[in-house]
A = this chain, B = another copy of it.
Amino acid sequence: MVSRIGREIEISPVELASQIAKKVEINLASGTPDPKVMPIAEIKETYNEVIEEYGSKVFFYPGAGGQEELIKEIENYIPNLNLSLNGNRIVVTSGAQHAIELLSKYFLENDTIAVENPTFIETFTPLKLRSNVVLPIGLDSKGIIVDELETVLKIVKIKLLYVIPNCHNPAGVNLCEDRRKRLVELADSYDFYILEDDPYKPIAGETPKPIKYFDKSGRVIYISSFSKIIAPGLRIGFILANEEIAEKISLIEQMDFSTSTINQYVVARLLKKGIVKNRMNYLYEHYANKMKILTDSLLDTGFTDFNRPSCGFFLLLDLKKDSWKVFNEAIKMGLSFVPAKPFFLRGGDTMARLSISVATEDEIKKGVKILKSAWDRV
């Protein structure tokens, strides 16, 4: 007999689809940023620079909470995300996934939480495995339906709400500003925390202000990542939280001490050089162009039941047929995508998550044609 986590952990359907995607020609499954626009030469140069400049120091154990140099650079960077410290503190993490694992460990012990329906299955797992009750709140083209949340809050006490405000994974929507403000008001009235998971903001173009922007009582914990704007393989992200929570999360990091020291120096240097900031608009346009090719191709092919994402990698398409059946046909013809049912706590059987992040323009067009053929066969 092992722990609840040991008993209930399962392979992520995203991981599974990614493994299958490696074996087929066209990958509309993966959420990995486009390798063709990763700043490989700059990262390589920066590894050399930080080793030459700091020597063995970049190879020491990481300090709890993050390297000073990186924290300072992140403080200078966050105005680009419409944020300021404002009495809060930065905690460096091994990416946004690690941040959510740390926050789950801190907050949750058989609690009641609320999440968007659908939500991102991988970040949801650490929250779910430490909660007794998970309340799914509907999502529309303006993000989480705050009225629905309020109805729930009137009868159920929740510990926290988990929200992806920009370029939602898998739904592709941005949460509108009005609802962001109302979420903070509700958190204050109904005494809960908000985990604002915002890894796409650096490549999201114009978006409403962060939920954290409206937070005056320290109830919003903002989570960011350098995975989309630099590269996921470095495993560097951060949390912006009030002093008390930031201090505790730093201490909880001592339990895994997983954040590479040298990679922290590399990200600090890339921030200092302005490489991160300079890529923001370029990457937004790069992915927006690819997304337009996907939406145009879908419409040309006769698929119309999908949201129109304004940013990010993902589009949620209602196939109106069992998406696993369509998936099985598509795989045979060389196309992988993610059947989106596992992202939903209720419904979602006919939904497919299509990603434009790694596929080329031609592959996107070809992928949609295959999708149509697969769909016809089901």
- The digit string for A51-85, where 1 denotes a CB below 8 A from any CB of B, is 11001111111111000000000000000000000
**CB of A98 within 8 A of chain B?**
yes
- The digit string for A113-153, where 1 denotes a CB below 8 A from any CB of B, is 00000000010011001100000000000000000000000
Q: Which residue of B lies closest to A101 (CB)?
A: B256
Q: Which residues of B contact A32 (CB under 8 A)?
A: 60-61
Q: Which residues of B contact A97 (CB under 8 A)?
A: 254-258
Q: Which residue of B lies closest to A232 (CB)?
A: B61
Complex Cα–Cα for A129 and B232 (A): 30
Q: A94-B94, A97-B257, A259-B258 are in contact. Are A5 and B235 (CB under 8 A)?
A: no
Q: Which of B59, B105, B109, B263 contacts A260 (CB 8 A)?
A: B263
Q: Which residue of B lies closest to A108 (CB)?
A: B3
**CB of A38 within 8 A of chain B?**
yes
Complex Cα–Cα for A112 and B218 (A): 37
Task: Choose the segment among A39-47, A283-291, A318-326 that binds chain B (4+ C-beta atoms closer than 8 Å).
Answer: A39-47
Q: Which residues of B contact A63 (CB under 8 A)?
A: 15
**CB of A261 within 8 A of chain B?**
yes
Q: Which residues of B contact A227 (CB under 8 A)?
A: 61
Across the interface, do A35 and B59 meet the contact criterion of CB distance under 8 Å? yes
Across the interface, do A258 and B256 meet the contact criterion of CB distance under 8 Å? yes
Output the least CB separation between A168 and chain B (Å).
19
Q: How many copies of this chain does one complex carry?
A: 2
Q: Which residues of B contact A10 (CB under 8 A)?
A: 251
Q: Which residue of B lies closest to A125 (CB)?
A: B255
**CB of A273 within 8 A of chain B?**
no
Q: Which residues of B contact A12 (CB under 8 A)?
A: 64, 254
Across the interface, do B51 and A48 meet the contact criterion of CB distance under 8 Å? no
**CB of A262 within 8 A of chain B?**
yes
Q: Which residues of B contact A155 (CB under 8 A)?
A: none
Across the interface, do B40 and A51 meet the contact criterion of CB distance under 8 Å? yes
Complex Cα–Cα for A48 and B44 (A): 7
Across the interface, do B254 and A122 meet the contact criterion of CB distance under 8 Å? yes
Complex Cα–Cα for A12 and B65 (A): 13
Across the interface, do A262 and B248 meet the contact criterion of CB distance under 8 Å? no
Q: A3-B106, A6-B252, A251-B11 are in contact. Are A35 and B51 (CB under 8 A)?
A: no
Q: Which residue of B lies closest to A41 (CB)?
A: B51
Across the interface, do B233 and A59 meet the contact criterion of CB distance under 8 Å? yes
**CB of A190 within 8 A of chain B?**
no
Q: Which residues of B contact A258 (CB under 8 A)?
A: 94-95, 97-98, 235, 256, 258-259
**CB of A231 within 8 A of chain B?**
yes
Complex Cα–Cα for A234 and B260 (A): 5
Complex Cα–Cα for A9 and B245 (A): 12
Across the interface, do B234 and A59 meet the contact criterion of CB distance under 8 Å? yes
Across the interface, do A256 and B61 meet the contact criterion of CB distance under 8 Å? no
The 8 closest A-B pairs by CB, nearest first: A233-B261, A35-B56, A94-B258, A59-B231, A59-B233, A258-B258, A3-B109, A101-B256
Q: Could you list 5 examples of A-B contacts with CB < 8 Å?
A: A11-B254, A12-B64, A38-B56, A47-B51, A126-B255
Residues of A participating in the B interface, judged by any CB pair closer than 8 Å: 2-6, 9-12, 15, 31-32, 35-36, 38, 40, 43-44, 47-48, 51-52, 55-64, 94-95, 97-98, 101, 105-109, 122, 125-126, 129-130, 227, 231-235, 248, 251-252, 254-263
Given contacts A4-B109, A9-B254, A15-B254, 5 further A-B contacts (CB under 8 A): A40-B59, A94-B94, A94-B258, A232-B261, A233-B260
